[in-house]
Amino acid sequence: MSTPTATIATTRAELLRLRKWPAVWITLGSWLALSLMFGYLFTYLSYASGDNTFASEGATKESLLAEMMPVNVPDVFLQGMPMFGGALMMVLGAIVAGNGYGWGTWKTIFSLGAQRTGAVLGSIAALTCFVVATLAVSLGFDLGLSLLVATTESQDVVLPALGSTLESLGVGFLVLEMWALVGYLLGTVARGPALSVGLGLVWSLVVENLLRGVGQLLDWVDALTMVLPGTAAGSLVGSLVGVQEGGDGTPGVLDTVDGPQAAITVACYIVLAIVVSVVVVRRRDVA
């Protein structure tokens, strides 16, 4: 079986598996719940009650209401992706690759003579399709919530510009795709979901934050943090939505490096994760 044929066949099979897999729907539901809570629910409660909470951070009622309007959907859509969305996509990528070893799927299909490169690329393509679907559903979900708020508060509905929406979708794709493929690489290297999920979450939620703190004291650590995946993803989003002064903004959104450099770094991680995943599967015994 040629590489293109194996890629297409694996993509179709993986898409069927992902559609029927509860873990996929739980991941999507978790992300939408987080988007609802941190993007709109807490902000609306602060606006309606007039209380200063962690969601309002001293903002006026007018600014809180403006933040929830449809025209600001592209920014709200992106804010949680560097940390929360990325962590969830990494978990999904890790279990997509890792469970292939735990369930014996890879061992079976490779024993039957399947083309390894095509099979891995097909699995990655299916994971990418889920990332794209997650972005589309998230954008529609946030737009629906903002329209609900605008209607409830009798505000004029001004839809976001097409250019800013497409730009947000592009940035969101790069961020979520990078974390999903990093998780896929971890699942491939670890040959199982548990260790890869644990390592990925510890790195993205703990280790990188600690390194940024140490980087304030050591120049070489600070230079290292400039090329870390979390720094690149957070800075890419920060270049679009902005970063509040004082470091009290959305967790994970940074301004450490400029937008073009962050985009290049994220793209490099995407390519590196794909190449290393293919090489590891091709060169080692799956038994």
Per-residue pLDDT of 134-148, as tens digits, reads 999 999 999 999 999
Which pair of tokens denotes residue 185?
């690489």
The span from the CA of 31 to the CA of 33, in Å, is 5
**Residue segments in the chain with a per-residue pLDDT below the cut of 70:** 1-2, 51-58, 113-114, 244-249, 286-287
Neighbours of 257 (CB within 10 A): 21
Domain limits for position 105: 3-283
* Separation CA 22–CA 32 (nearest Å): 15
Q: How many CB atoms lie within 10 A of CB 48?
A: 13
- pLDDT for res 248: 54
73-120 pLDDT per residue, tens: 999 999 889 888 999 999 999 999 988 887 777 888 777 766 888 889
Residues 6+ apart with CB under 8 A from 238: 253, 254, 255, 256
CA–CA distances in Å: residue 259 to residues 185, 200, 233, 237: 25, 24, 10, 8
Token duo for residue 113 = 């003579």
For 190, the token pair is 């670890």
Q: What is the number of domains present in the chain?
A: 1
Rounded to two decimals, what is the model's pTM? 0.91
In this prediction, residue 101 carries a pLDDT of 81
Looking at residue 272, what is its pLDDT?
96
